[in-house]
Structure 1
Amino acid sequence: MIPNKQYDLSELNKFFNEVGTPKQIASELVNLLFNYASCVDEDNLEVFKADVGTIYVLYNELTKIEE
């Protein structure tokens, strides 16, 4: 388990204000996933599965952020 630390998230807040809201970024992740899925074949299926897990974690946390 990760120790309970305080992180300076000011750059992330700046990113959300200048690039896109958490909801917009989450939507882009969904689009990325669909685009990526169209490129998957049996040779890279395991990598795709691992990457989907990462995308899911990011999506899940982004959708929890309140504006």
Structure 2
Amino acid sequence: MQVWTIPEWCAHRKISRATFYNLIKAGKAPRTMKFGNSVRISAEADLEWLRACEAESASRTKEAA
């Protein structure tokens, strides 16, 4: 299973680390897990996050119609 560090995940999703931390503040970041002093994001958490983003986008599109 793929597991990313925060910088790796940000590069994978083409977002800045600042955006990642803004997602955390907004309660919209992917789930993370700690390994010692390191924080990781699993492929499963990434997929859940992506699906949530898609659902939110679809919801906003329906509201605008």
Q: Sort the TM-score into its range (normalised by shorter chain).
A: 0.3 to 0.5
**TM-score scaled by structure 1?**
0.35
Larger Rg: 1
More strand by share: 2
Which one has more relative contact order, counting CA pairs under 8 Å at least 6 apart? 1
